[in-house]
Each structure stands twice: as structure tokens, then as C-alpha cells.
């Protein structure tokens, strides 16, 4: 008989519960309050976009046509940028391997893992631009300061990514190696590394990609590469040249992204 009554009256949709709807409403309320509170601090002036439209048009037109007359110098600076990124990444991979393993919960006891993790957090928390400014003071202006800045920051990031890969390995092969009377380092070399290597390579390539992008701005604080050039042009109001440099950066970074994507697909 129930089927007949259903045909005439609507079936009640089960309620989601008052508590759940209140929590979700409260969540949204907090979000909008935060946005409103930050309005002033962030100096939000949408009208400035409209008022300054004419100015911006004039500014933008200064970029055209881009001036490529000095292209050889731009390309050589971009190559320097690549070199900075390459060395910065290579050094950080070298250091991220031991630090990554030492911050993996399933390999080392907590009293090793926790301090190493905090150290890596510190490396990661401070932006490479800040490190670059510090190293410019320490080792002088130029690409080497950029390499050191990338090295510290990327070591923190890669160690974290490497240890996440190590923590998700299959423990059984390691047990197999342990049962032969091998020592702890053997377990890592033959049991852990073969399992994580494809992921590690993929992460490293990705970080190289990101480091090339970061290296293009390191020059602004005097740490070498194409960023130095860019900064000088912008400060000197050479907008046509600035546009040319930016176009070359976009082209080379996109090419690198494509290449590294291919390589990463090959290893995993």
C-alpha cells in the first residue's frame, strides 16, 4: 500500500542535520569576515584601475614593438640563468638524498627524524630571494650567490619530497635484505633507493624547472643571470628592451617545461 501513497505525496528528503549546516555556514562567514578585514591592509583600490587606464595604456604601448637588437646578450644571460639553476639543483639533490632519508619516519628513529625535519622546514620556509640577498652580502654580487640561494631552499623542498617517497615504500624487500645479515646502509642502498629512484628523478626534474623560473628573478637582488638585465631595463624605462627579454624568458621556460615533462614521463 505504501507505493500508492508515495505516488500522491512527495517523499521527504533526509535532512543533512542542523549541526552540519551551521558548521558549513559558520565556515563561509569566517572566510568572508577575513576577506573584509584584509581589505584595508591590502590597500584595495579597484577604482585606481579605471582612473589609471589611460596611463597604463601609454605604459603598455611602450613595450611595443619589442627591441631585439641586443638579442645575443639576452640569450647569453638566459644561459647563465640556466647554469645557476643547474648547479643550484644539482647541489641540492646531493644534499637532499641524505637529509631526505634522515627525515623518513620508517627508516630512522624519531629523535633523528624530527630535528632533521625541522632543519628542512627552516630551509624551506625562507624564500630563495631572501637567501640570495644574504649570500650577496656573504660572497659578493654575481651568479654564485644565486647558486647558493637555490641550493639551500631547494634542499629543504627536495628533502621533504624525497622523504615522502621513502615513507610510502614497500617494507618487504627491505626485510628480505635485512634477513641476509646486511647492515642498515645496505638496506637503504639496495632496498630503499631502487624503489624510490623514479619518483626522485621526477621530483628533481620538476624542481630544476621551478629553479630556472626562480633564477630569472634572482638577478634583481644582484645574484646574477637575466634578472639583473631585466631589472636594469625596467629601472631605466627601456620598455622595448624589457619586452624582448621577457619574451625570450617565456619562450625558453616553456621549452624547458615541455622537455622536462617528457623526461619525467620517461622515468615514471
Partner 1 sequence: MVALIGASGSGKSTLIRHIAGLILSDKGSGKIEVLGTAIQSNGVLAKGVRSHRREIGVVFQQFNLVGRLSVLTNVLMGVLGQAPSWRTWFGIFTREENQRAMKALARVGIASHAIQRSSNLSGGQQQRAAIARTIVQGAKVLLADEPIASLDPASSRKVMDNLAHVNREDGVTVIVSLHQVDYAIKYCPRTVAMREGEIVFDGPSEQLTPEFLQQIYGADSLELFSPEEQRRKAAGENAKPTPERDATDELALAYAAR
213 near partner 1, rule: CB under 8 A: no
CB neighbours (10 Å) of residue 113?
Answer: 18
Size of residue set near partner 1 by CB under 8 A: 19
Least Cβ distance, residue 176 to partner 1 (angstroms) = 3
Contacts with 241 (C-beta within 8 Å, 6 or more apart), sequence order: 66, 67, 70, 233
Name which position in 67, 91, 129, 178 contacts partner 1 (CB under 8 A).
Answer: 178
Name which position in 63, 68, 95, 190 contacts partner 1 (CB under 8 A).
Answer: 190
d(CA 58, CA 63): 9
- The one segment of 21-29, 130-138, 170-178, 231-239 that binds partner 1 by CB under 8 A: 170-178
177 versus 223: smaller Cβ distance to partner 1: 177
**Backbone torsions φ then ψ of 182, nearest 5 degrees:** -75, 160
66 near partner 1, rule: CB under 8 A: no
268 near partner 1, rule: CB under 8 A: no
**Backbone torsions φ then ψ of 45, nearest 5 degrees:** -130, 80
Contacts with 141 (C-beta within 8 Å, 6 or more apart), sequence order: 222, 223, 224
Residue with grid cell 508515495, as numbered in its chain: 6
Name which position in 12, 16, 58, 172 contacts partner 1 (CB under 8 A).
Answer: 172
User: Which residues sit at the interface with partner 1, rule CB under 8 A?
Assistant: 172-173, 175-183, 185-186, 189-191, 194-195, 197
Amino acid at each position: 500500500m505504501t507505493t500508492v501513497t508515495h505516488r500522491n505525496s512527495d517523499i521527504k528528503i533526509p535532512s543533512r542535520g542542523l549541526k552540519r549546516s551551521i558548521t558549513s555556514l559558520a565556515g563561509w562567514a569566517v572566510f568572508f569576515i577575513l576577506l573584509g578585514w584584509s581589505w584595508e591592509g591590502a590597500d584595495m583600490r579597484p577604482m585606481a584601475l579605471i582612473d589609471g587606464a589611460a596611463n597604463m595604456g601609454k605604459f603598455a604601448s611602450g613595450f611595443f614593438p619589442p627591441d631585439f637588437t641586443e638579442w645575443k646578450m639576452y640569450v647569453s644571460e638566459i644561459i647563465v640563468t640556466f647554469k645557476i639553476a643547474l648547479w643550484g639543483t644539482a647541489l641540492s639533490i646531493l644534499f637532499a638524498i641524505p637529509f631526505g632519508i634522515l627525515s623518513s619516519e620508517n627508516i630512522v628513529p624519531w629523535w633523528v627524524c624530527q630535528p632533521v625535519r625541522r632543519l628542512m622546514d627552516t630551509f624551506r620556509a625562507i624564500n630563495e630571494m631572501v637567501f640570495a640577498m644574504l649570500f650577496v652580502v656573504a660572497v659578493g654580487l654575481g651568479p654564485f650567490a644565486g647558486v647558493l640561494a637555490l641550493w639551500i631552499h631547494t634542499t629543504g623542498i627536495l628533502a621533504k619530497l624525497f622523504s615522502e617517497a621513502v615513507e610510502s615504500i614497500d617494507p618487504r624487500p627491505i626485510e628480505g635484505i635485512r634477513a641476509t645479515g646486511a647492515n642498515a646502509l645496505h638496506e637503504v642502498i639496495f632496498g630503499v633507493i631502487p624503489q624510490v629512484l623514479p619518483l626522485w628523478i621526477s621530483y628533481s626534474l620538476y624542481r630544476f624547472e621551478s629553479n630556472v623560473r626562480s633564477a630569472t628573478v634572482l638577478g634583481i637582488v644582484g645574484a646574477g643571470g637575466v634578472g639583473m638585465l631585466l631589472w636594469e631595463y625596467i629601472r631605466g624605462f627601456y620598455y622595448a628592451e624589457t619586452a624582448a627579454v621577457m619574451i625570450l624568458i617565456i619562450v625558453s621556460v616553456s621549452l624547458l617545461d615541455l622537455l622536462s615533462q617528457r623526461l619525467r614521463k620517461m622515468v615514471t
